[in-house]
Amino acid sequence: MFKFAHMADVHIGAHEDNKRLSELEIEAFNESIDTCVKEGVKFIIIAGDFFDKPVPELGQVKNIIKKLIKLVELNIPVYVIYGSHDYSPGQDSMIDLLEAAKLIIKIYNSKSVDGKIRLEMYQDKETGVKLAGISARKIGLEKAIFEKLDKEHLESQNGFKIFVFHSGIEEYLPKSWKDVEAVPINWFPKGFDYYAGGHIHKRQELNIQNYRNIIIPGPLFIGWGTKDYTDVAKGIEKRGFYIVSCENDKIIENGIKFIEMDKIKGEFVEFDVTGKRSEQANEEINKELEERNVENKLVVVKIFGELLSGKTTEIDVMEIRKRLTERKAIYTRINRNKLSTREFQKIKVLSEDKTKMEEEQFKANQKNIKPVNQSLQGREGIIKAQELLKILKESPKDSSGKNSTAIQSKITKSGIELLGISEIIED
């Protein structure tokens, strides 16, 4: 019997602008490694985004190196692939430096064979487990590797096999990740015993025909961005990693166990300003926050709705953040994406109405004049009329408020080009 650990999206360095979050980020990693050692794992997989950027702040790396050295001393290898954050096309990533120092093993190893990309499998010395992986690229460019992957070569390999990847799966993307570049499931090699994923910041456990035990652990700590902070503040997404127990080249029943890393508590405050003046909204928001326990917590404040009067900038974000800091909140995130004012809505409606009115008038004129030219009929004709109107609106005028002869000539030329006619026939 043996165990291995699987984590992803550690994102060391993601919170370097906040001392306490940065400390907790390191603590989460250190404690996860301590748990791995205590559980007696034979190896650890980090499925991408070990670091938040290719070369993170060195003070944070120093703390990580201490733990990696300890793992080397204990003969526990760490198998790593690039994530989209720590990937560097020039091989000047911290991943490459740690590999050169023999503290980790990068398992993405490929070559071109007959127009396909063939992955070489790495075999763990103690357990005999075979690992193959595809490193991520920026903006989903690893799809080109998946598309040309020699799957048959991987599928023909015997023994206990693990496939490591840092990509979303197209058919199984969480709703909040639908716009992310992803890979179709049939581009993955079939028949592996475990698929160690990363990249998607939402925990997933998938079992599909021909693709058993697809696991994406989500971030080890908070992650990064508004969605991650909100999920943690609401307490709807647990952070952590997996330990997998195996026997006789098989994962034992109920042998895939999620280990929660509960390093930070959150507080989520939602406030609707609809029908309120900006000064009233400020008062009520601060009153609501005064009643919340925010000490040592990550606080996300969502302010939304339509102000009765005042500007959105009059919602004093700086004051809100200052008060929360004074009450010892670790970090504050304020979301105002859905905040607007009545004045803004009026301007928006007027603008939309004006465009619509112009279009309706053009439709009516079409019926009345019945243009002979086919290009001026139907929807195409309306679009050309709108473009002509735009030309007229944007044409400068002289001191008398009229277009000069030169400007008139320019308008005429632009109109002829737009309508696609060669000349103007005069009576």
| Cβ atoms 16, 56 nearer than 8 A | yes
Burial bucket for residue 365 (CB in 10 Å: 0-12, 13-18, 19+):
middle
Mean pLDDT calculated for residue range 251-270: 95
User: For residue 370, what pLDDT is reported?
Assistant: 54
User: For residue 71, what pLDDT is reported?
Assistant: 98
User: For residue 423, what pLDDT is reported?
Assistant: 43
Structure tokens at 82: 């690039």
Cβ neighbour number for residue 384 with a 10 Å cutoff = 18
Highest mean pLDDT among 204-218, 219-233, 393-407: 204-218
Domain limits of the chain?
2-260, 265-342
**Rounded-to-integer distance, Cα 221 and Cα 239, Å:** 6
Banded pLDDT at 75 (limits 50, 70, 90): very high
Q: Which of 7, 242, 236, 233 is nearest to 104 (CA)?
A: 7
Mean pLDDT calculated for residue range 282-304: 95
**Rounded-to-integer distance, Cα 116 and Cα 370, Å:** 60
Determine the 3-state secondary structure of 265 from DSSP. Answer: strand
Which stretch of 40-44, 139-143, 352-356 has the lowest confidence by average pLDDT? Answer: 352-356
Which stretch of 166-170, 192-196, 224-228, 396-400 has the lowest confidence by average pLDDT? Answer: 396-400
Does residue 63 or residue 77 have the better pLDDT? 77
pLDDT surpasses 50 at 424: no
Kind and range of the H or E run holding 318:
helix 317-326
Structure tokens at 296: 């040592």
**CATH class entry, domain 2-260:** alpha beta
Banded pLDDT at 225 (limits 50, 70, 90): confident
Cβ neighbour number for residue 96 with a 10 Å cutoff = 17
pLDDT tens profile 283-293:
999 999 999 99
User: For residue 88, what pLDDT is reported?
Assistant: 80
How far the first Cα of the chain sits from its last, in Å, is 98
Banded pLDDT at 274 (limits 50, 70, 90): very high
The amino acid occupying position 134 is I
**Rounded-to-integer distance, Cα 183 and Cα 166, Å:** 10
Structure tokens at 65: 């190196």
Q: Which of 182, 187, 222, 214 is nearest to 199 (CA)?
A: 182
Q: Which of 230, 196, 236 is nearest to 212 (CA)?
A: 196
| Cβ atoms 241, 5 nearer than 8 A | yes
pLDDT surpasses 50 at 69: yes
**Rounded-to-integer distance, Cα 396 and Cα 104, Å:** 66
**Rounded-to-integer distance, Cα 350 and Cα 24, Å:** 50
**Rounded-to-integer distance, Cα 202 and Cα 196, Å:** 14
For the stretch 278-285, contacts whose Cβ atoms lie closer than 8 Å and that sit 24 or more positions apart, written own/partner, are: 278/307, 278/309, 278/310, 278/311, 278/312, 278/314, 278/315, 279/310, 279/314, 281/307, 281/310, 281/315, 282/314, 282/315, 282/316, 282/319, 285/315, 285/320
| Cβ atoms 188, 154 nearer than 8 A | no
pTM of the model: 0.78
pLDDT surpasses 80 at 416: no
* Edge-to-edge order in the sheet of strand 204-208: 122-123, 130-134, 161-165, 194-196, 211-216, 204-208
Banded pLDDT at 92 (limits 50, 70, 90): confident
The CA R_g of the chain, rounded to the nearest whole Å, is: 30
**Rounded-to-integer distance, Cα 287 and Cα 177, Å:** 35
Kind and range of the H or E run holding 257:
strand 250-260
Residue linked to tokens 């499998």: 121
* Active-site hit among 11, 15, 85, 166: 85
Does residue 391 or residue 206 have the better pLDDT? 206
Q: Which of 206, 217, 107, 96 is nearest to 161 (CA)?
A: 107
Phi, psi angles (nearest 5°) of residue 214 = -90, 115
Residue 121 DSSP label: P
Q: Which residues contact 153 (CB under 8 A, 6 or more apart)?
A: 113, 118, 119
Active-site annotation holds for 85: yes
Mean pLDDT calculated for residue range 358-370: 59
